[in-house]
């Protein structure tokens, strides 16, 4: 439908309708006199509403001498407005400039519906902020919806984020008192540049982000929240980064570092299982056992998986689970999951004693992390250490030393069954956010986006995470 000229103050009237459709503009003082349609550079229709702005009598009074001011000039100003029906809208009106004939003071007429610092209406500004707060659309998509430039959208978002998460130029203190923290580093830019994130494991909120992955990150965080706040923190889930562990022990010795199952198993799979598999392949080739060496090819996934996972894969294969659906258009067929992975795993263990030892360590480790009593878990971890030390396998002996050096943090999992899974999940969301934004050269904006991302759709429920009161 097309706009027509109207004498109705503050209303936009459509034609080609059995009844007139009136849309309240909430543009107080603006009197729409004419509307024209143009085309933007992107090809979208733009409806430009011409009008004038009422001048309250009190605004013509000089604030300095109290004299009546005269209109000195009235240059036109254009403000972008809310899009309607997929079409862009703009307002064009004279912006009166006042001058006092007695003291020479000048000022511009106040426009109540103009967004501060932007050439747009307050309604469009708030609409853009509402879209940004959803964390569903990218800045480019919001730019397309609102008709604003991408840099303008970013500027609005940065203002929104600073309003939410900063006070006087500094980050806000945590909204809730945390009992359990998670800490991990993530790659910030190429060239081995890292940043560290500290998370409340109950809420999933990011509490602190800083450059680097050294002790100073923890020191700055403690200074930020204060020792009184840290007194209520019981444990922190972290990886094997000794700097983080030592920093917490130095500043807050009552906080127990906890090394969760994920990081232990990751070290075991990457540094032990994979290295042993390669070493066994080389040994078998040197001995001339070509068939046995071939059997170890492409077995990393099988050797690093738990038996329950292999059984589930076989069950899915028996049901004919389709991993990727084919289509006739491009001449591809369905890819169905293959079975027999558990049997292949058993065959590998039967053929190689060292692989059997790895399986035994893996099962004992999984069993130890089910314990909720520290002495019993300590006994099981000690048994694993003795088993590793009894072998002549260098990677296994290394793993035994790893457990020994981090023994207290490992068995602490029995008392504090926490995991850094939330932190690892945030790290994945960080990668997703960076891809969606095609990179963020502005670190301040990127970090504030991460703060906001971690608080979207939040529900505080400590019991759902397995924490004990």
Q: Between residues 197 and 437, which one has the greater pLDDT?
A: 197
What does the pLDDT look like over 381-435, one tens digit per residue?
999 999 999 988 999 999 999 999 999 999 999 999 998 888 888 888 888 888 8
Would you call 232 exposed, middle or buried from its count of C-beta atoms within 10 A (0-12, 13-18, 19+)?
exposed
Element containing residue 45 per DSSP (H, E): strand 45-53
Helices (DSSP H) in 270-373: which residue ranges? 274-287, 290-295, 300-304, 307-318, 341-351, 353-368
pLDDT-wise least confident of 53-67, 124-138, 222-236: 53-67
Q: What is the pLDDT of residue 457?
A: 61
How confident is the model at residue 464, as a pLDDT?
A: 39
Dihedral sign for Cα atoms in the order 427, 430, 432, 438: negative
Task: Express each pLDDT in 391-405 by its tens digit.
Answer: 889 999 999 999 999
What contacts 425, CB < 8 A, 6 or more positions away?
none
| Residue 35 · residue 84 · CB < 8 Å | no
Residue 206: closest CA among 167, 165, 155: 165
Mean pLDDT, range 120-147, rounded to an integer: 91
- Whole-angstrom Cα distance, residue 107 to residue 461? 54
Is the full-model pTM beyond 0.85? no
The pair phi, psi for residue 37, each rounded to 5°, is: -115, 130
Kindly tell me if the per-residue pLDDT of 223 is higher than 90.
Answer: yes
Higher pLDDT, 27 or 5: 27
Q: Starting at the earlier edge strand, list the strands of the sheet with 97-99.
A: 70-73, 97-99, 106-108
β-bridge mates for residue 170, sequence order: 167
Give 139's contacts (C-beta < 8 A, 6+ positions apart). Answer: 132, 150, 153, 154, 157, 437
The answer to whether residues 36 and 54 touch, using CB atoms and an 8 Å cutoff, is: no
The HSE-up count of residue 383 (CA atoms within 13 Å, CB side) is 15
Mean pLDDT of the chain: 86
Confidence grade of residue 298 (pLDDT, cut at 50, 70, 90): confident
Distance CA 299, CA 348 (A): 9
Segment 48-69, tens digit of pLDDT = 889 888 888 888 888 888 888 8
**pLDDT tens figures, 74-105:** 888 999 998 887 889 999 999 889 889 888 88
As a whole number, mean pLDDT of residues 170-191 equals 88
Please give the span between the terminal C-alpha atoms of the chain, in angstroms, as a whole number.
62
User: Is the Cα dihedral 411, 416, 422, 423 positive or negative?
Assistant: negative
- Round to whole Å and give the CA distance between 84 and 67: 43
pLDDT band at residue 191 using 50, 70 and 90 as cut-offs: low
DSSP state of 68: B
Please list, in sequence order, all residues whose beta carbon lies within 8 angstroms of the beta carbon of residue 466, skipping any fewer than 6 positions away.
417, 418
Specify the residue for token string 């933007």. Answer: 40
Helix (H) / strand (E) containing 33:
strand 30-39
pLDDT class for 47, splitting at 50, 70, 90? Answer: confident
**Largest Cα span, the chain:** 106
């Amino acid at each position: 439908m097309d706009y027509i000229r109207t004498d109705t103050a503050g209303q936009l009237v459509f034609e080609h309708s059995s009844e007139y459709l009136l849309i309240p503009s909430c543009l107080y003082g603006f009197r729409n006199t004419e509307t024209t349609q143009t085309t933007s550079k992107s090809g979208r229709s733009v409806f430009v509403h011409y009008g004038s702005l009422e001048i309250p009598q009190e605004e013509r009074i000089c604030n300095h001498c109290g004299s009546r001011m005269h209109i000195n000039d009235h240059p036109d100003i254009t403000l972008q407005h809310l899009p309607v029906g997929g079409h862009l809208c703009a307002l064009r009106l004279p912006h009166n400039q006042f001058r006092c004939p007695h003291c020479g003071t000048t000022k511009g007429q106040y426009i109540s519906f103009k967004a501060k610092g932007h050439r747009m209406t307050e309604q469009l500004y708030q609409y853009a902020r509402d879209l940004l707060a959803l964390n569903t659309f990218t800045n480019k998509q919001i730019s397309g919806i609102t008709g604003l430039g991408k840099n303008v959208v970013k500027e609005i978002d940065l203002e929104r984020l600073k309003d939410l998460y900063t006070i006087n130029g500094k980050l806000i203190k945590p909204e809730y008192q945390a009992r359990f923290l998670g800490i991990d580093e993530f790659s910030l830019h190429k060239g081995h540049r890292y940043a560290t994130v500290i998370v409340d494991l109950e809420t999933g909120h990011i509490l602190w982000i800083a450059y680097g992955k050294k002790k100073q990150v923890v020191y700055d965080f403690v200074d930020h929240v204060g020792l009184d706040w840290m007194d209520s923190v019981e444990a922190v889930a972290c990886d094997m980064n000794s700097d983080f562990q030592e920093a917490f022990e130095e500043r807050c010795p009552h906080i127990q570092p906890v090394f969760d199952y994920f990081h232990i198993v990751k070290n075991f799979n990457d540094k032990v299982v994979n290295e042993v598999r390669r070493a066994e392949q080389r040994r078998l080739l040197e001995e001339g056992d070509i068939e046995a060496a071939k059997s170890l090819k492409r077995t990393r996934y099988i050797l690093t998986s738990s038996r329950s996972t292999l059984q589930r894969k076989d069950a899915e294969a028996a049901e004919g689970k389709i991993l990727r659906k084919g289509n006739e258009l491009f001449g591809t067929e369905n890819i169905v999951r293959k079975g027999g992975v558990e049997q292949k795993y058993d065959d590998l263990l039967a053929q190689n004693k060292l692989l059997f030892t790895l399986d035994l360590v893996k099962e004992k480790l999984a069993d130890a992390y089910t314990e909720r009593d520290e002495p019993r878990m300590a006994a099981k971890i000690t048994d694993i250490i003795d088993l590793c030390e009894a072998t002549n396998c260098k990677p296994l002996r290394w793993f035994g030393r790893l457990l020994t050096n981090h023994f207290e943090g490992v068995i602490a999992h029995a008392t504090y069954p926490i995991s850094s899974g939330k932190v690892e999940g945030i790290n994945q969301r960080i990668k997703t956010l960076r891809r969606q934004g095609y990179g963020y050269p502005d670190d301040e904006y990127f970090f504030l986006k991460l703060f906001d991302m971690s608080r979207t759709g939040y529900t505080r429920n400590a019991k759902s995470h397995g924490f004990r009161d």
